[in-house]
């Protein structure tokens, strides 16, 4: 398992770029809100801890993870942030719907990274169970939102 032995919430601020002029966007899926709100809280707290002021953090909601790519694209066009974090959670069910949503979401965010000049960070949990999602959104493996915020700051500085 990729997160075994890794704390998703661990980071070293000394190695991060100056964030004082950055604007970071959060596009958050409303589906699986327990998980996406926990991921958002981790990302938001990390951005503040790394020096961003509250007014330099943008947040838009979209209905589900499938809609993240479009939400990120529109935020880039309208708000011109330095980076965007796409926050979502897809939990496997009894049908292949999980595979289609995960694949389309990952592909859409990848496409944005190739087509836009603003980095879009993939903070979408694709777990088999709710327990796994909880473990990665502030539970025993830390918070993927924290890791995504650090990645956003590093990519924004490129």
**Active site (catalytic) residues:** 97
| Residue in the structure block whose two tokens are 């990729």 | 2
For the residues of 34-100, what is the DSSP string, one character each?
HHHHHHHHHHHHHHHHTT--GGGEEEEEESSGGGHHHHHHHHHHHH--SEEEEEEEEE--SSTHHHH
Return the closest-CA partner of residue 98 out of 125, 123, 120: 125
Please give the structure tokens belonging to residue 126. Answer: 């694709």
CB atoms within 10 A of CB 147: 24
């Amino acid at each position: 398992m990729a997160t075994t032995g890794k704390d998703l919430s661990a980071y070293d601020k000394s190695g991060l770029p100056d964030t004082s002029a950055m604007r970071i966007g959060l596009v958050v899926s409303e589906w699986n809100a327990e998980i996406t709100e926990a991921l958002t809280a981790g990302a938001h707290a990390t951005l503040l801890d790394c020096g961003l002021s509250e007014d330099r953090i943008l947040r838009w909601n979209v209905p589900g993870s499938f809609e993240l790519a479009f939400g990120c694209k529109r935020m880039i066009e309208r708000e011109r942030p330095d980076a965007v974090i796409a926050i979502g959670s897809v939990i496997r069910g009894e049908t292949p719907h999980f595979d289609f949503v995960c694949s389309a979401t990952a592909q859409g965010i990848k496409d944005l990274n190739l087509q836009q000049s603003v980095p879009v960070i993939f903070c979408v949990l694709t777990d088999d169970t709710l327990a796994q999602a909880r473990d990665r959104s502030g539970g025993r493996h830390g918070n993927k939102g924290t890791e995504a915020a650090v990645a956003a700051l590093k990519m924004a500085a490129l």
